[in-house]
Structure 1
Amino acid sequence: MDEFIELIPGLPSELGLECLTRLSNSSHRVALRVCNQWRRLFLSDEFYSHRKNTGHTRKVACLVQAHEQQPHSEFDKQTGSTPPSYDITVFDPESMSWDRVDPVPEYPSGLPLFCQLTSCEGKLVVMGGWDPASYEPLTAVFVYDFRMNIWWRGKDMPEKRSFFATGSGYDRVFVAGGHDENKNALKTAWAYGPKIDEWTMLAPMSQDRDECEGTVVGGEFWVVSGYATESQGMFDDSAEVLDIGSGQWRRVEGVWEAGRCPRSCVDIRENGKVVDPGLRIGVCSVRVGSRKWVTGSEYEGAPYGFYLVENDEGQNRKLNKISSVPDGFAGFVQSGCCVEI
């Protein structure tokens, strides 16, 4: 970052950089307008890496969350048939604050249904889903840049797929499995690089896996459970693991509870251990640094709640309920991911 000199008049460049590095992310929108040099700095990948390496980024949970939608007609009012609409909620476990990301410009009234959410180098990536009006599967990719607070359209996914596994690491987003527009389960896999806006085909998995769940742990992309086309709803207990470096898959048995849907509730450690989120109904689990954010109910009919797990390594594991949820942020959470901003 040698090109950035005298960032703050009267201070050495190193000290000026240190001061700007400590600015909170919420202040960046204003800082971008101070001068051209500050704008170039704040938008550079080098500055993001510097903030990350010096511990001045923060991790937040980004959630696909339902919000109340006003009925469009008297019929809707009488029947309650207005379908739920979903936005992206941002929860910061440090400040315990709740906020929303601006809507995707092409979908101002709500996200594509069942879209997948992941992150890559401080950017939020929304992929696939169904068009809210036609229910047609989409290949669209949208990227939200927290540095500029804007959305941009990425290169479409090479194949139509729904309910697929996704994860991110090493400047790439990985997708695998799911099903095509004819509801045939898939075993194909791809990687997307937001920086270069390109998709790369990966080796296929050994079997089709619909409604699987994905996560990147260390240098591996885990694709957990799922089922084949002819085994509708019969969730497998195995996982397939992609070694990101070599591009080779391996199969691991007995990872998951057979018959149980893994969607949005898989949490895997680097030793391959799967951590139970502690809830059973409507579960969504997002690891945010050393904590885990969890939502759902303990059993059918139990209250729907939001929780933070401070320690889930041993016997002292406890769900701490988040009691102060602001109005408008108590809706059902479909899925989520952690973003370091």
Structure 2
Amino acid sequence: METFHLIPGLPDELGLDCITRLPYTTHRLVSSVCRRWRQLISSSHFYYHRRNSGATRLLSCFVQTLPPTYSTTGWKLCTSLAYGLTLFDPLTQSWDRIPPIPHYPDGLPLFCHIASTEGKLVLMGGWDPETYDPIVDVFVYDFSRCGWRKGKDMPSNRSFFAVGASDGRIYVAGGHDESKNALKSAWVYDLRSDEWTELPQMSQGRDECEGLMAGGEFWVISGYDTERQGMFDASAEVYDLDSGEWRVVDQAWETGRCPRACVGMDKEGRLTNWSEWEAAFQVGTCGVVIGSQTVVTGSEYQGAAQNFYAMMEREEGENSKMTKINVPEEYSGYVQSGCCVEV
């Protein structure tokens, strides 16, 4: 029987290495070469092979306001804010926009959450941009195919929850339900099986909490219970991915401070607040860790222009090196949240 190699005339090991070195921007075109290439490029095995070979690229993905749309006469067509997904490549300093979700062509669900794993971007929850009703939709963007697919809905409505991603799974915890009750429940979404599994509950409800992955742990930071609306707690709860158990970390965060999008972690495992690093982003701060650096956005004061900085990892005894990023006008809008994407 004739053997079909990945690349005719080459052993499959060499063929795999050649395909591995192709930039992710070519994957959609390469997938159309043949069925075997399409199956290879869409597999998690290929993603991890590329990552282990150092062939993946780290990008920032932002939920960002879109530029206003104008008619031919110069009148603004839309007065309400619409959000889209922006990609920033720190290596090439290039900017791009992810195509809109077909179900929401005019803008993302408001206050939606994003996370990324295995070269895919997962968007979930938020409010319908037209009705403001909370939704349970889950959408998955595949960078190798440059397209969206519908994932299995979230088990229940929840807004302003914590989210984290690791090894093909998306973890969610806390937030509030349709009646504004703070939630202590947690779930995990398996990207490969498209299934949700309930996790043990946290010790308390945590509305408007923030999620952070650190090693093999999912941190759910601050938030507040139903009876303490807006009174942000100083504690965090940490879910160990191996043991499947939660632990409480007291005094992990500043009491009364909203943690949304501005939480980081230093080399010693202490939580940090990105807004404290530079006067340029005191309001609406959002930090996205990309390898050894962090892209931080925010404004000096309410209503001021949005600033974008790259913060290099600190060496012991040295201050962080801050570099202002030049941003094209169409990508200078307010950033609501973000995550790192490895593709």
Establish whether TM, by shorter chain, passes 0.5.
yes
Per the alignment, residue 14 of structure 1 pairs with: 13
Match of 1:317 among 320, 323, 328: 320
For residues 191-215 of structure 1, the C-alpha deviation after alignment (integer angstroms, 9 at most, x for no partner) is 1101101111111111111100001
Please give the residue correspondences for 1:192-231 in structure 2 after superposition, counting only pairs within 5 Å: 192-231=189-228
Please give the residue correspondences for 1:177-326 in structure 2 after superposition, counting only pairs within 5 Å: 177-269=174-266, 271-277=268-274, 278=277, 279-300=281-302, 303-314=305-316, 315-323=318-326, 325-326=327-328
SS at match of 2:331: coil
Q: TM-score if structure 1 supplies the norm length?
A: 0.93
Equivalent residue pairs, number? 334
Cα RMSD over matched residues? 2.1
Whole-angstrom CA distance in 1 between matches of 2:236 and 2:243? 18
Match of 2:145 among 143, 148, 154: 148
Greater mean deviation of Cα atoms: 273-282 or 246-255: 273-282
For residues 156-206 of structure 1, the C-alpha deviation after alignment (integer angstroms, 9 at most, x for no partner) is 111111000000113211101111111111111111101101111111111
Q: 1:287–1:293: 8 Å Cα contact kept in structure 2? A: yes
Whole-angstrom CA distance in 2 between matches of 1:190 and 1:215? 15
Greater mean deviation of Cα atoms: 217-226 or 262-271: 262-271
In the TM superposition, structure 1's runs of 4+ consecutive aligned residues that sit over 3 Å from their partners are 298-303
SS at match of 1:55: coil
Alpha-carbon shift at residue 311 of structure 1 (Å) = 2.0
Alpha-carbon shift at residue 113 of structure 1 (Å) = 0.3
For 1:57, the aligned partner's letter is T
Alpha-carbon shift at residue 299 of structure 1 (Å) = 4.4
Whole-angstrom CA distance in 1 between matches of 2:287 and 2:94? 18
Q: 2:63–2:85: 8 Å Cα contact kept in structure 1? A: yes
Per the alignment, residue 116 of structure 1 pairs with: 113
Whole-angstrom CA distance in 2 between matches of 1:313 and 1:127? 36
Per the alignment, residue 22 of structure 2 pairs with: 23
For residues 252-299 of structure 1, the C-alpha deviation after alignment (integer angstroms, 9 at most, x for no partner) is 111111111110111125742113312321101110111101100244
Whole-angstrom CA distance in 2 between matches of 1:203 and 1:285? 29
Whole-angstrom CA distance in 2 between matches of 1:253 and 1:245? 22
Whole-angstrom CA distance in 2 between matches of 1:214 and 1:84? 25
Whole-angstrom CA distance in 2 between matches of 1:194 and 1:25? 20
Q: 2:69–2:78: 8 Å Cα contact kept in structure 1? A: no
Per the alignment, residue 34 of structure 2 pairs with: 35
Alpha-carbon shift at residue 42 of structure 1 (Å) = 1.5
SS at match of 2:56: coil
Please give the residue correspondences for 1:39-58 in structure 2 after superposition, counting only pairs within 5 Å: 39-58=38-57
Alpha-carbon shift at residue 339 of structure 1 (Å) = 1.1
Q: 1:235–1:261: 8 Å Cα contact kept in structure 2? A: yes
SS at match of 1:39: helix
Q: Are residues 270 and 190 of structure 1, via their aligned partners in 2, closer, same or farther at CA, if it must alter by over 3 Å? A: farther
For 1:176, the aligned partner's letter is A
Q: Are residues 81 and 184 of structure 1, via their aligned partners in 2, closer, same or farther at CA, if it must alter by over 3 Å? A: farther
**What percentage of residue pairs aligned between the two structures are identical?**
55
Whole-angstrom CA distance in 2 between matches of 1:172 and 1:303? 36
Q: 2:297–2:308: 8 Å Cα contact kept in structure 1? A: yes
Gaps of 5+ in 1: none
Whole-angstrom CA distance in 2 between matches of 1:332 and 1:303? 8
Whole-angstrom CA distance in 2 between matches of 1:46 and 1:201? 26
Whole-angstrom CA distance in 2 between matches of 1:31 and 1:53? 21
Q: 1:217–1:270: 8 Å Cα contact kept in structure 2? A: no
Q: Are residues 313 and 168 of structure 1, via their aligned partners in 2, closer, same or farther at CA, if it must alter by over 3 Å? A: farther
Whole-angstrom CA distance in 1 between matches of 2:152 and 2:172? 14
Whole-angstrom CA distance in 1 between matches of 2:313 and 2:267? 16
SS at match of 1:166: strand
Q: 1:219–1:244: 8 Å Cα contact kept in structure 2? A: yes
Whole-angstrom CA distance in 1 between matches of 2:200 and 2:160? 19
For 1:202, the aligned partner's letter is L
Alpha-carbon shift at residue 48 of structure 1 (Å) = 1.3
Q: 1:71–1:82: 8 Å Cα contact kept in structure 2? A: no
Whole-angstrom CA distance in 2 between matches of 1:42 and 1:104? 22
Alpha-carbon shift at residue 9 of structure 1 (Å) = 2.3
Q: Are residues 31 and 92 of structure 1, via their aligned partners in 2, closer, same or farther at CA, if it must alter by over 3 Å? A: same
Per the alignment, residue 333 of structure 1 pairs with: 335
Whole-angstrom CA distance in 1 between matches of 2:312 and 2:218? 25
For 1:49, the aligned partner's letter is Y
Please give the residue correspondences for 1:163-182 in structure 2 after superposition, counting only pairs within 5 Å: 163-182=160-179
